[in-house]
Amino acid sequence: MASQIALNTAPPRTDFKGPALVQARPLLKVRNLSISYGRQQVVHDVGFDIGHGESLALIGESGSGKSTIAKAVLRLLPNGATASGQVVFDEQDILSLSERRFRPLRGRDIGFVPQDPGNALNPVRTIGSQALEAAALTDERHPAARKALILETFAKVGLDNPQRVYESYPHQLSGGMLQRVLIALAILPRPSLLVADEPTSALDVTIQKRILELLSRLQEELDISLLLITHDLAIAGERAGSLVVLKGGVVQEAGRTSAVFSSPTSPYARKLHADVPALNPDRYAKLRDPGFARLADDRQAKISVEGVTKRFSVDGKVLTAVDDLSFSVAAGTTHALVGESGSGKTTTIRLLLALEEPESGSIRVSHDTVTSPGVSSLRSVWRHLQLVYQNPFTSLDPSWKVEQLIREPLDRFRIGSAAERSAAVQEALANVGLSADLLQRKPSALSGGQRQRVAIARALVLKPDVIVLDEPTSALDVSVQADIVEVLLSLQAKLGLTYVFVSHDLALVRQLAHTVSVMQRGRIVEHGTVHEIFGKPKHDYTLSLLSSIPSVRGEKVSAPAVRRVAQKELAL
């Protein structure tokens, strides 16, 4: 019985006990839930339980149906979507309840924290006026008492100046603050269930960590049950008591977090586990390790940046985007630039590509000076140095075919005959592991991973020495990310490429970088080899960045450095 409910995929696990998933009187009981948009079924026969005060994470890649399930629980499915099965909340079947009977449960019993805080509050109304809607769900009658309750809750979620927040419009607050506001509004009526749909994926890493901690803390403090939706297995592992792993709307695996992590049984959960950077710091050791030998060789510096400063003037104020920046990258190695958004990473890249001119300092790539050269030498810089953008969904012109996209740099620099160009395109395509029958397709007919491979092939076709990778995988699912990283590292091993890798994903940096510079407010606060930075971090900011790498509940923490960081944080 239990196995049939919890695991709908073959082969059924007859040994499954699943205390977290099938309970006597759970708060939320989902059974045989199937959901279709029009004719297309996207959720197949899903079932799970959440007990009082417990947390369950629903994980899977994008499009696996996580949000659809959340919307079914919240009864926010759009018109045209049909759901069958049971979603029983506190003994009432949400799916068959009339809207009039369900409305009193909204907010009061079931709270919702959405994915993108930037879009989850009405942009033309003050935070306060929207908070009052949530306060109206409480027993508090007096307007003044309601406002006091709101301010108190704002303080509880760590908003420093509740009164100011109350009077602000959404666009006047940062994403992290908005997410705190949304959490405050959700917990204000004291619901017994909180549905959080990827509550941190739109936020900076260090803020992600704090928001997740806040959620966990409130969940325990207020004894709320949590349905946490995430694409990040590492986050799920750290935050949830039990897991449901979804793929294509079908449950692949379900159970206590510790059990799923220590012995995943389904092939998909195993692959997911292997693809998460935070859980597999040494996954690419074989491909990467030869690079460390090159670090020792000083003469091999491919890139050297010395004392570079760049200022912008904004509204009459001078903003130092990059301050006295120095680093060098040995040929054939990967240098990672890490830091929060706004720390100067993008400006650094733009300086490297000579898209900005520094006020002072010098930049050299392969002994060519990048700083203030004439146009002709700029072209030679760009032949040696190529850029791969963050988002493969917007960086490729949708009206071009793959073949044109990859060949275009050769055309622009007038390199080779037509036959040579076409051979170079074929070679680049083979290098990124795409088959030649994709050449005539347009980007819209490619998956995200394929598009990013095309973008890499485009960069490779000029045979550059250096490729700047600006968060090349942040728009991709973990499994696709793992494939792309594999491609990049094999290319480095094969062609001796030098990478400058910009990322805010510390776990990924730990997997693939040789050296790391940690940037904060335009300065490099710490730099060293990847082992030094992750093993013996010195700067507090580095520590706080590192602690954003999730560790796993109920499992031995895989990276010793992180545990030390956690202890050090406690001591601070």
Ligand X SMILES: Nc1ncnc2c1ncn2[C@@H]1O[C@H](COP(=O)(O)OP(=O)(O)O)[C@@H](O)[C@H]1O
Can you give the binding site for ligand X, defined by CB under 6 A? 37, 42, 60, 62-68, 78
Q: Are 94 and 58 contacting, i.e. CB atoms less than 8 angstroms apart?
A: no
Question: Cis bond leading into 11, ω under 30°?
Answer: yes
Residue 106 interaction partner, one of Mg ion, ligand X, another protein, none, beta carbon < 5-8 Å per kind: another protein
Quick check: 201 binds Mg ion (CB under 5 A)? no
For residue 378, the minimal CB distance to Mg ion (Å) is 42
Question: Percentage helix, strand, coil, to 5, in the chain?
Answer: 40, 25, 35
Quick check: 449 binds another protein (CB under 8 A)? no
For residue 21, the minimal CB distance to another protein (Å) is 25
465: left (phi over 0), alpha (psi -120 to 50) or beta: alpha
Stretch touching Mg ion by CB under 5 A, among 22-30, 59-67, 240-248, 313-321: 59-67
- Please, which residue, 67 or 300, has the CB nearer to ligand X? 67
3-state secondary structure 166-230: HHCCHHHCCHHHHHHHHHHHHHCCCCCEEEEECCCCCCCHHHHHHHHHHHHHHHHHHCCEEEEEE
User: What would the x/- binding string for another protein be over residues 28 to 47, using CB under 8 A?
Assistant: --------------------
- The string of DSSP letters for 218-280 reads HHHHHT-EEEEEES-HHHHHHH-SEEEEEETTEEEEEEEHHHHHHS--SHHHHHHHHH-GGG-
Stretch touching Mg ion by CB under 5 A, among 60-68, 296-304, 324-332, 528-536: 60-68
For residue 21, the minimal CB distance to Mg ion (Å) is 22
Residue 125 interaction partner, one of another protein, ligand X, Mg ion, none, beta carbon < 5-8 Å per kind: another protein
Kindly state the number of chain residues that form the binding site for Mg ion, as judged by CB under 5 A.
1
Q: Return the structure tokens found at 302.
A: 């491919």
What is the distance between the alpha carbons of residues 235 and 278, in angstroms, rounded to a whole number? 9
**Triad 473, 71, 392: Cα angle to 5°:** 20
Stretch touching Mg ion by CB under 5 A, among 64-72, 75-83, 92-100, 480-488: 64-72
For residue 67, the minimal CB distance to ligand X (Å) is 3
Residue 290 interaction partner, one of Mg ion, ligand X, another protein, none, beta carbon < 5-8 Å per kind: none
- Binds another protein by CB under 8 A, chosen from 134, 233, 365, 469: 134
Stretch touching Mg ion by CB under 5 A, among 65-73, 133-141, 142-150, 369-377: 65-73
Quick check: 124 binds another protein (CB under 8 A)? yes
3-state secondary structure 278-344: HHCCCCCHHHHCHHHHHHCCHHHEEEEEEEEEEEEEECCEEEEEEEEEEEEEECCCEEEEECCCCCC
- Please, which residue, 68 or 200, has the CB nearer to ligand X? 68
For residue 447, the minimal CB distance to ligand X (Å) is 13
CB-based contacts of 213, cutoff 8 Å, min separation 6: none
In the window 361-380, what residues touch another protein (CB under 8 A)? 378
What is the distance between the alpha carbons of residues 189 and 108, in angstroms, rounded to a whole number? 5
Stretch touching another protein by CB under 8 A, among 10-18, 113-121, 496-504, 528-536: 113-121
- Binds another protein by CB under 8 A, chosen from 140, 408, 532, 540: 408
φ, ψ at 50 (rounded to 5°): -125, 125
For residue 195, the minimal CB distance to Mg ion (Å) is 12
Quick check: 130 binds another protein (CB under 8 A)? yes
Q: Using CA atoms of 240, 154, 194, 89 in order, give the dihedral in degrees to the nearest 10.
A: 150
Q: Return the structure tokens found at 531.
A: 């082992």
Residue 449 interaction partner, one of Mg ion, ligand X, another protein, none, beta carbon < 5-8 Å per kind: none
- Binds another protein by CB under 8 A, chosen from 300, 400, 531, 566: 400
Quick check: 110 binds another protein (CB under 8 A)? yes
Stretch touching another protein by CB under 8 A, among 40-48, 345-353, 433-441, 521-529: 345-353
Q: Return the structure tokens found at 99.
A: 């809207």
Quick check: 36 binds Mg ion (CB under 5 A)? no
Q: Closest Cα to residue 196, out of 179, 217, 173, 171?
A: 179
Quick check: 137 binds another protein (CB under 8 A)? yes
- Please, which residue, 63 or 416, has the CB nearer to ligand X? 63
Q: Return the structure tokens found at 202.
A: 């739109």
For residue 170, the minimal CB distance to ligand X (Å) is 23
Angle, helices 127-135 vs 143-156, to 10°: value is 110
What is the distance between the alpha carbons of residues 170 and 134, in angstroms, rounded to a whole number? 16
Q: Return the structure tokens found at 212.
A: 């997740």
Q: Are 13 and 29 contacting, i.e. CB atoms less than 8 angstroms apart?
A: no
Quick check: 326 binds Mg ion (CB under 5 A)? no
Quick check: 67 binds Mg ion (CB under 5 A)? yes
Q: Closest Cα to residue 466, out of 391, 361, 363?
A: 363
Q: Return the structure tokens found at 115.
A: 């994915």
- Binds another protein by CB under 8 A, chosen from 322, 405, 424, 487: 405
For residue 202, the minimal CB distance to another protein (Å) is 11
CB-based contacts of 571, cutoff 8 Å, min separation 6: none
For 320-323, the CB contacts below 8 A with 24+ separation are: 320/522, 321/347, 321/522, 322/347, 322/348, 322/351, 322/358, 322/522, 323/521, 323/522, 323/523
Residue 405 interaction partner, one of another protein, Mg ion, ligand X, none, beta carbon < 5-8 Å per kind: another protein
Distance of CA 149 to the CA centre of its chain: 34
In the window 512-571, what residues touch another protein (CB under 8 A)? none
Quick check: 362 binds Mg ion (CB under 5 A)? no
- Binds another protein by CB under 8 A, chosen from 116, 324, 486, 540: 116
Residue 68 interaction partner, one of another protein, ligand X, Mg ion, none, beta carbon < 5-8 Å per kind: ligand X
**Triad 58, 59, 61: Cα angle to 5°:** 140
For residue 231, the minimal CB distance to ligand X (Å) is 7
Binding site for another protein (CB under 8 A): 71, 74, 76, 79, 103-108, 110-112, 114-116, 119-125, 130, 133-134, 137, 169, 171, 182, 185, 312, 314-315, 346, 350, 353, 355, 378, 382, 387, 389, 394-398, 400, 404-405, 408-409, 412, 458
Binding site for Mg ion (CB under 5 A): 67
